[in-house]
Each structure stands twice: as structure tokens, then as C-alpha cells.
């Protein structure tokens, strides 16, 4: 009797351990995949550029930015969902020279479907919504400004400060992604291309988000391409 009870107890403990492991594996398989990306985006703000062209102390914006993306992806029965935050910078501004740069921050939620039934390759169109904010920053040439003049005059101090305008909008997002799974570390590498656009044009505002009279209008829209890295587990189908 004692032996039978011992065997039963050990079997119950083993089953409990197996059940806990299975539960953990199920939770892990349903968890999001963390993603990171690096890429470029291209945008053109005609309204702002046309207005700034009338001020010789400023240099026009470059239409290219470099981007970093962080987010998560979930794949279940070939349906794909992802959330991401993207920061961008033109990396062109120099505070000591006549120059300009463009910076942005944005995020969104996308839904898609994997059209390739494979454990090692994904090809998925995406559609989603989000929001974007762009900062257009302009620097003046300060090479001839004297130290004493800056120290003595608030007017000179203000004249050498950067000038910044801001534009924000809710956006819709269209994209296409392709990923290749690694058989060794359970991660993946892929590429995503996308188009992001506001629903209508928005006024450029001051750095403090103040409305300005007779401000130029632009619609936020950009094309982007990014290299996407993910790790932690394989896709769950």
C-alpha cells in the first residue's frame, strides 16, 4: 500500500510539472515577438519649403531621414498584428552654420495577413492607423557674431537661436513586409516598406504648438523602408 501511494504521488507530481511546462510553452508561444528596425524615410513638405525659400537666412529641408523603430509583432493562424514607435532624424543640422534638419516621432498599430504558408518565410501586407509629429529646425550662420554682442544684448541672443516649426497629424498606414526565420537562434530578419499619410493637410505651428496666422499647410506623408530584426521565438501559426 505504501509503495502504491508513493508511485501515485510521484506520478501526480510529474503530471503537474508537465502541465505547468505545457502551460508555460503555450503562454510563450502566444507572447508578442519583440522587433527592432533601422531604415530611411522620404518626405517633402512643399508648403513649408516654398515659404522658407523667401528667407535667405534659412536653408531648405532635406527630404531624407534616417529612422529607428522599436515594437512588437504577433502572428497567429497567419494573421499578423504589430505595434511600433519610429523616430527619425535628417542628421543634417549644424548649429554653427546656415543649415536645417528634420526630426520626427510617430507610432501606429497595423494588421495584416501572411500569404505564404511557410515556417521559414513570411510575406504580409499591412494596413493600420497611427500618428506622426515632425519638427523642422533651422539654424543661422553665427560665424560673424561676437561674444560680447551676445552677452550684452537679448536681441542678438534671440537672433542666433534656432527656429523650429511643428506639424502633427493622425495617419493611415499601408505597408508590405517580408521576413526570414533563423533555424538556429529562433530570430528573424526581414524588410518592411510602407507609406504613411495624414487624412488632410495641417498648419505648421510654433515650437510651442501655437497656431500662427497665415501659416503654410502641408499634408504629412512619407515613404519608408526598414530592415527589421526580431528574436525570442518562432512564429506561431
Q: Which domains does the chain have, with CATH numbers?
A: 32-137+164-231 (2.40.160.20)
Residues 6+ apart with CB under 8 A from 135: 102, 103, 104, 164, 165, 166, 207
Residue 20 has pLDDT above 50, yes or no: no
Give the pLDDT score at 22.
Answer: 44
Q: Are 125 and 175 within 8 A, CB to CB?
A: yes
The predicted pLDDT at position 236 comes to 53
pLDDT at 120: 85
Q: Do the beta carbons of residue 138 and residue 101 sit within 8 Å? A: no
Of 84, 74, 114, nearest to 233 by C-alpha is 74
* Predicted confidence (pLDDT) at residue 17 exceeds the cutoff of 90: no
Averaged over 27-46, what is the pLDDT? 84
Q: What is the pTM of this model?
A: 0.82
Which residues have a Cβ under 8 Å from the Cβ of 181 and sit 6 or more positions away?
Answer: 119, 120, 121, 122, 187, 188, 234, 235
Mean residue pLDDT of the chain comes to: 87
Average pLDDT over residues 205-233: 92
Residue 220, burial from CB neighbour count under 10 angstroms (0-12, 13-18, 19+): buried
Q: Tens of pLDDT along 170-209?
A: 999 999 999 998 777 668 899 999 999 999 999 999 999 9
The predicted-structure confidence for 84-127, as pLDDT tens digits, reads as follows: 999 999 999 999 999 999 999 999 999 999 998 788 899 999 99
Mean pLDDT of 231-236: 59
Note the pLDDT of residue 131: 97
pLDDT tens digits along 116-159: 878 889 999 999 999 999 999 999 999 999 999 999 999 999 88
- Unique residue bearing C-alpha cell 512564429: 235
Lowest mean pLDDT among 80-89, 215-224, 228-237: 228-237
Amino acid at each position: 500500500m505504501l509503495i502504491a501511494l508513493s508511485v501515485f504521488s510521484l506520478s501526480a507530481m510529474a503530471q503537474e510539472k508537465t502541465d505547468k511546462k505545457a502551460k508555460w510553452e503555450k503562454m510563450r508561444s502566444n507572447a508578442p515577438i519583440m522587433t527592432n528596425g533601422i531604415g530611411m524615410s522620404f518626405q517633402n513638405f512643399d508648403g513649408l519649403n516654398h515659404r522658407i525659400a523667401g528667407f535667405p537666412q534659412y536653408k531648405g529641408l532635406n527630404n531624407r531621414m534616417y529612422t529607428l523603430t522599436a515594437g512588437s509583432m504577433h502572428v497567429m493562424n497567419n494573421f499578423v498584428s504589430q505595434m511600433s514607435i519610429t523616430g527619425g532624424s535628417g542628421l543634417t543640422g549644424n548649429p554653427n552654420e546656415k543649415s536645417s534638419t528634420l526630426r520626427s516621432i510617430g507610432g501606429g498599430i497595423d494588421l495584416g495577413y501572411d500569404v505564404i504558408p511557410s515556417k521559414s518565410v513570411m510575406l504580409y501586407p499591412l494596413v493600420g492607423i497611427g500618428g506622426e509629429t515632425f519638427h523642422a529646425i533651422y539654424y543661422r550662420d553665427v560665424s560673424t557674431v561676437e561674444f560680447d554682442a551676445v552677452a550684452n544684448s537679448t536681441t542678438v541672443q534671440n537672433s542666433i537661436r534656432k527656429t523650429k516649426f511643428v506639424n502633427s497629424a493622425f495617419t493611415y498606414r499601408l505597408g508590405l513586409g517580408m521576413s526570414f526565420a533563423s533555424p538556429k537562434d529562433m530570430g528573424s530578419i526581414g524588410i518592411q516598406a510602407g507609406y504613411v499619410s495624414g487624412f488632410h493637410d495641417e498648419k505648421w505651428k510654433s515650437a510651442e504648438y501655437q497656431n500662427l496666422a497665415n501659416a503654410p499647410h502641408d499634408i504629412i506623408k512619407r515613404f519608408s523602408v526598414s530592415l527589421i530584426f526580431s528574436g525570442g521565438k518562432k512564429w506561431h501559426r
